[in-house]
Amino acid sequence: MSMQKDYIKMVVVLTAIATVCGFLLAAVKDFTAARIEQQILVNVKGPAVLRVLDTSTNDLFADRREITVEDRKYVVFVGKKEDKIWAAAFESSGGGFGGDIGVMVGFNLETDQLAGIGILTHQETPGLGARVTETSFTDRFKGKPITTVFKVKKDGGEIDALSGATNSSRGVCEAIDKTIKLYPAIKKQVLEN
């Protein structure tokens, strides 16, 4: 009987601790969520957007808006040259080798070409897949028309993969491909407002 009581006590105590910890973490996560999002916006997305739409003359940061496409919200950064909208950038992700690769993709709305891309987040292998963040790779996408098949050559596309990092290159292509599909709807809404 006493052994049974011991077991019950163990289960009760562990459950109680886990419950309290769970609630506490949920509360802290809730409390910090907005602030963390803001930090990522300033520290990760901001610099990427500035690189991607580097010829803009407006405050890219202030001129961002939320656009809803098929019930999903996208934060779109709008680039202007002398008050004329010329570009828009938004993010997407694709599955790389070590996890999702977040990519900021900028579009030139006048020519329907990629204005540039920037890698936001990744967990690729340093020295191999992690080279997708280097400009030698990201520049391969600059100026490509949106009709380009964004797949690596091995998969029948038009993009040179990084040697030794095919999967990481695929992830980036996948992310861009997703943005291409959203592009017409987002372009329309950006130019309308």
Partner 1 sequence: MATSKTLTHEFFKGFWEVLPPFRLVLGLCPTLAVTTMAENGIGMGLATTFVLVFSNIIIASIKSIIPKKVRIASYIMVIATFVVIVELMMKAYFYSISEKLGIFIPLIVVNCIILGRAEAFASKNPIYLSAADGLGIGLGYTMSLFLISSIREILGTGMFFGMSVMWDGFEPFSFMVKAPGAFICLGILLATINRIANK
Interface residues toward partner 1, by CB under 8 A: 6, 9-10, 13-14, 17-18, 21, 24-25, 28-29, 32, 35-36, 39-40, 42-43
- Least Å distance between CB 173 and partner 1? 26
Q: Which is nearer to partner 1, 9 or 181 (CB)?
A: 9
In the bound complex, what is the minimum distance in angstroms from residue 42's beta carbon to partner 1? Answer: 8
| Closer of 6 and 139 to partner 1 (Cβ) | 6
Contact 68, 77 (CB under 8 A): no
Rounded Cα distance, 160 and 123, in Å: 21
Neighbours of 59 (CB within 10 A): 9
The distance of closest approach from Cβ of residue 97 to partner 1 in the complex, given in angstroms and rounded to an integer, is 17
Q: Which is nearer to partner 1, 25 or 191 (CB)?
A: 25
C-beta of residue 126 within 8 angstroms of C-beta of residue 119: no
Q: Which is nearer to partner 1, 29 or 181 (CB)?
A: 29
Region of 112 please: left (phi>0), alpha (psi -120 to 50) or beta: left
Q: Where are the alpha helices (DSSP H) in 70-165?
A: 135-138
CA distance 31 to 59: 29
Pick 69 or 75: Cβ nearer partner 1? 75
Q: Give the sheet arrangement for strand 64-69, strand by strand.
A: 64-69, 72-81, 84-95, 100-108, 113-121
The minimum distance between CB 6 and partner 1, in angstroms, equals 6
Least separation in angstroms between CB 34 and partner 1? 9
